[in-house]
């Protein structure tokens, strides 16, 4: 029976990311990536309905180690799928994926400290078992083979076509048709505009409760401007500067532990950031602006020394 240190389930956005992190941070760790379907990408390969796109910006949805460089922060499905494929190819993950492998059961043995995983070959129906020390599920939160499909009384009398977006037929001719979309969640919000703009005769959204929507541009002008001046990936010092200017003590907590909660810890953090800023040729006025954010508690008391530090460096 084959054994691996880590068994990753699912070759979508999360599964590919998990494998990339193992490659980078755990060299020598044996692992395999199981995918029930015959393609990489998960949701972004399965969903093909009109208008499919992300419902959050790609700077937070994407990988930290493979920054999103597309023009649109709210990206369309095909662009996200290509992003996942490119990331897997770049980091050597493609050869680790075993397609047509569905996990149908798993049992844990405390004496052996390992999982025994039952796997089905979806192309042949054959079964096999693998063992692993860490079972890492990246399967999403809904069924890929069958989306939620309530029964509607009298639907057999309906003369039209009933379609679930999760299994949108490629040859569905919906242009010029009168369409009712049931629901007002993320899928409906992306589907309705695409149908209306793509030539549907009339589109009605049927919802249980009112939904409030604010129109936002697909492109993030602030992010586009920052990308012209910042590196694609921040190193530790760059990240500390960003956190500092945002008034967040995350970096200080990671670097100095409990000391970060003391005046001395904050002074050490500020000195570190000042040194980092000077090393990058940035004006110290930026540090002062960050250190004297009016929203920070005890600002005047705990950050008065920043002025003294700046004067000393002048």
DSSP 76: B
Please tell me the least confidently modeled range out of 68-82, 97-111, 214-228, 277-291. 277-291
Residue 58 contacts residue 76 (beta carbons within 8 Å): no
Q: Is 23 helix (H, G, I), strand (E, B) or coil?
A: helix
Q: Which pLDDT score is estimated for 82? A: 96
Mean pLDDT check: name the lowest of 80-94, 209-223, 266-280: 266-280
pLDDT value at residue 155? 87
In the predicted structure, residue 297 carries a pLDDT above the cut 80: no
pLDDT at 35 over 80: yes
> What's the rounded Cα separation, in Å, for the pair 41 and 62?
13
Across the chain, what does the average pLDDT equal? 79
Residue pair 101/94 in contact by the 8 Å Cβ criterion: no
Sorted by sequence, the CB contacts under 8 Å of residue 99 that are 6+ apart come out as 11, 35, 37, 38, 39
Confidence of residue 267 (pLDDT cuts 50, 70, 90): low
In the predicted model, what is the mean pLDDT of residues 305-314? 45
CA distances from residue 82 to 40, 125, 190, 193 in whole angstroms, order as listed = 10, 30, 19, 23
Q: Is 198 helix (H, G, I), strand (E, B) or coil?
A: coil
What is the percentage of the chain residues whose pLDDT exceeds 90?
44
Mean pLDDT over 210-220 rounds to 77
| Numbered ranges of CATH 3.50.50.60 in the chain | 2-137
Element (H, E) at 183: none
Query: How many CB atoms neighbour CB 17 within 10 A?
Result: 22
Mean pLDDT along residues 302-308 = 44
Strand 101-109 versus strand 97-99 pairing type: unpaired
Over the stretch 3-19, which tens digit does the pLDDT of each residue have?
A: 999 999 999 999 999 99
238 has a pLDDT exceeding 80: no
* pLDDT of 295 strictly over 70: no
Q: Which long-range contacts (CB under 8 A, 24 or more apart) does 217-220 make?
A: 218/72, 218/73, 218/74, 218/75, 219/71, 219/72, 219/73, 220/57, 220/59, 220/73
pLDDT band at 2 (very low <50, low <70, confident <90, very high): very high
Tokens of 74: 């709210």
For 55-67, how does the pLDDT look when each residue is reduced to its tens digit (9 = 90+)? 888 888 899 888 8
Question: CB–CB of 185/142 below 8 Å?
Answer: no
Closest CA to 218 of 70, 84, 87: 70
pLDDT reading at 298 higher than 90: no
- Taking residues 74-81, what's their average pLDDT? 93
Q: Which of 38, 52, 17 is nearest to 191 (CA)?
A: 52
Average pLDDT for 197-219: 85
Q: Which CATH number fits domain 2-137: 3.30.70.1400, 3.30.2350.10, 1.20.950.20, 3.50.50.60?
A: 3.50.50.60
User: Is pLDDT at 40 greater than 90 in this prediction?
Assistant: yes
| Residue written as token pair 């970096």 | 251
Query: Is 81 within 8 Å of 226 (Cβ atoms)?
Result: no
The band of 296, judged by pLDDT with boundaries at 50, 70 and 90, is very low
Stronger pLDDT, 261 or 78, i.e. the higher one? 78
Give which of 167, 117, 120, 112 is closest to 142, Cα–Cα.
Answer: 167
Predicted confidence at residue 13, as pLDDT, reads 94
The pLDDT of residue 144 is above 80: no
Nearest CA among 213, 175, 210, 212 for reference residue 194:
175
SS3 110: coil
Higher pLDDT, 195 or 141: 195
User: Between 105 and 159, where is the model more confident?
Assistant: 105
41: left (phi over 0), alpha (psi -120 to 50) or beta: left
pLDDT for the residue 56: 83
DSSP β-ladder status, 31-35 and 2-9? parallel
């Amino acid at each position: 029976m084959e054994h691996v240190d880590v068994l990753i389930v699912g070759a979508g956005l999360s599964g590919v990311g998990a494998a990339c992190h193992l490659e980078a941070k755990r060299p020598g760790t044996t692992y395999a990536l199981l995918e029930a379907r015959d393609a990489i990408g998960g949701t972004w390969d399965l969903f093909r309905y009109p208008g499919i796109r992300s419902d959050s910006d790609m700077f937070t949805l994407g990988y930290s180690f493979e920054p999103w460089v597309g023009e649109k922060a709210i990206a369309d499905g095909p662009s996200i799928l290509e992003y996942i494929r490119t990331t897997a190819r770049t980091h050597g993950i493609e050869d680790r994926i075993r397609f047509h492998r569905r996990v149908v059961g798993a049992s844990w043995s405390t004496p052996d400290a390992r999982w025994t995983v039952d796997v089905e070959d979806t192309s042949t129906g054959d079964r096999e078992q693998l063992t692993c020390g860490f079972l890492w599920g990246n399967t999403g939160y809904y069924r890929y083979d069958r989306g939620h499909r309530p029964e509607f009384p009298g639907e057999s009398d309906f003369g039209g076509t009933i379609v679930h977006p999760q299994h949108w037929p490629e040859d569905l001719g919906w242009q010029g048709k009168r369409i009712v979309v049931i629901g007002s969640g993320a899928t409906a919000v992306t589907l309705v505009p695409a149908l209306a703009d793509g030539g549907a005769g009339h589109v009605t959204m049927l919802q249980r409760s009112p939904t409030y929507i604010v129109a936002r541009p697909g492109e993030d002008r602030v992010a586009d401007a920052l990308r012209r001046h910042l590196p694609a990936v921040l190193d530790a010092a760059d990240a500390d500067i960003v956190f500092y200017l945002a008034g967040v003590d995350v970096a200080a907590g990671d670097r100095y532990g409990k000391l970060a909660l003391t005046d001395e810890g904050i002074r050490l953090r500020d000195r570190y950031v000042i040194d980092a800023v000077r090393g990058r040729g940035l004006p110290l006025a930026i540090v002062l602006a960050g250190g004297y954010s009016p929203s920070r508690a005890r600002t005047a008391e705990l950050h008065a020394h920043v002025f003294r530090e700046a004067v000393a460096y002048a």
